[in-house]
Amino acid sequence: MVKRQKTKASPWLLTLFALPFAGVGLGFLVMSIIPSLYDSVAMSTWQPVQAQLISARTRVHHGDDSTSYEAEARYRYDFQGTEYESSRVGIMAGADNIGQWQETRGAQLNRALREGLLITVYVDPDAPEEAVIYRELRWGMLAFKSVFVLVFGGVGFGLMWLAWRGQRAAAAVDEQTASAEPWRLRTEWANPVRSNTKLGLIVLWVFAVVWNGVSAPVLFTLPGEMAKGNQAILFALLFPIIGLGLLVSAVVKLRQWLRFGSVPLHLDPWPACIGGQLAGRMEIKLPYDSTQRVHLQLSCLLSYYSGSGKNRKRTEKIIWSAEGLANLAPAAQGSSIQFAFDIPAGLPQSELPSERHHLWRLEVNAALPGADFNQQYEVPVFETGMAASSRIKCASQHPLMQEERERRLERLLNIRQIADGVELYYQMGRRWRGRSLGLLVGIAMTIGGWFAQAKAAPLMVVVLLIGIGLLIAVGCCYGLLNSYRVKLGRPGIYTERKILGVMISKRFYPPADIQGLVIKAHGSSQVGNKHTEHFVIEAQLNSGKQVRVVEDLDGRALTEQALEVVTLLSGLPKAHG
pLDDT of 97 higher than 70: yes
Report the first-to-last Cα separation within the chain, whole angstroms.
31
Least confident of 3-7, 190-194, 379-383, 495-499: 3-7
Residue 110 or residue 411, greater confidence: 110
How far is residue 535's CA from residue 563's CA, in Å, rounded to a whole number?
Answer: 11
CB-based contact 537:575 (threshold 8 Å): no
Residue 235 DSSP class: G
Helix, coil or strand: residue 340:
strand
The residues near 78 (Cβ < 8 Å, ≥ 6 apart) are 49, 84
CA angle, 438 then 443 then 444, to 5°: 95
Round the CA-based radius of gyration of the chain to a whole number and report it: 32
- Sheet with 67-79: list strands edge to edge: 82-86, 67-79, 47-62, 118-123, 131-132
13 contact partners, CB below 8 Å, separation of at least 6 = none
pLDDT at 143: 80
- Is residue 212 within 8 Å of 246, Cβ to Cβ? yes
Per-residue pLDDT, averaged over 463-480, amounts to 90
SS3 letters across 58-73: EEEEECCCCEEEEEEE
DSSP bridge partners of 509? 493
**pLDDT score of 4 more than 50:** no
Contact 548, 507 (CB under 8 A): no
In angstroms, the CA 276 to CA 296 distance is 18
Find the range with the poorest average confidence among 39-48, 292-301, 386-395. 386-395
**What is the per-residue pLDDT across 337-395, written as a single tens digit (0 to 9) for each?**
999 999 999 999 999 888 889 999 999 988 888 788 888 899 999 988 776 566 778 88
- Give the pLDDT of residue 401: 82
Phi, psi for 323 (deg, rounded to 5): -115, 155
pLDDT-based confidence at 286, cuts 50/70/90? Answer: confident
- Domain residue ranges of the chain, discontinuous segments joined by +: 45-134, 263-396, 410-570
Find residue 144's DSSP bridge partners. none
Residue 462's Cα: distance from chain center in Å?
A: 26
Best CA proximity match to 246, nearest among 277, 217, 214: 214
Measured at the CA of 138, the angle between CA 133 and CA 142, to 5 degrees, comes to 135
Helix (H) or strand (E) holding 560: helix 556-570
Q: Is 72 buried (19+), middle (13-18) or exposed (0-12) by CB count in 10 A?
A: middle
Give the whole-angstrom CA distance, residue 477 versus residue 497. 15
Q: Is the pLDDT of residue 273 over 80?
A: yes
Instruction: Determine the pLDDT at residue 47.
Output: 96
> Please, what sign has the CA dihedral across residues 344, 517, 479, 463?
positive
Using the Cα atoms of residue 180, residue 184, residue 190 and residue 193 in order, give the sign of their dihedral.
Answer: negative
Rounded to 5°, the CA angle 534-537-539 comes to: 150
Q: What SS3 state is found at 447?
A: helix
Decide: 516 and 573 in contact? Cβ < 8 Å: yes
Asked whether the predicted pLDDT for residue 8 surpasses 70, the reply is no
> For residue 344, which phi and psi values (nearest 5 degrees)?
-65, 150
Using a 10 angstrom Cβ sphere, with 0-12 exposed, 13-18 middle and 19 or more buried, the burial of residue 212 is buried
Across the chain, mean pLDDT equals: 84
Fold of 263-396: Immunoglobulin-like (2.60.40)
CA 189 from centroid of its chain's CA atoms: 25
pLDDT over 90 (residue 175): no
| C-alpha separations of 461 from 167, 185, 240 in Å | 42, 47, 22
Kindly report the number of other CB atoms within 10 A of residue 85's CB atom.
12
Write down the pLDDT at residue 52. Answer: 96
Q: How far apart are CA 509 and CA 572, in angstroms?
A: 13
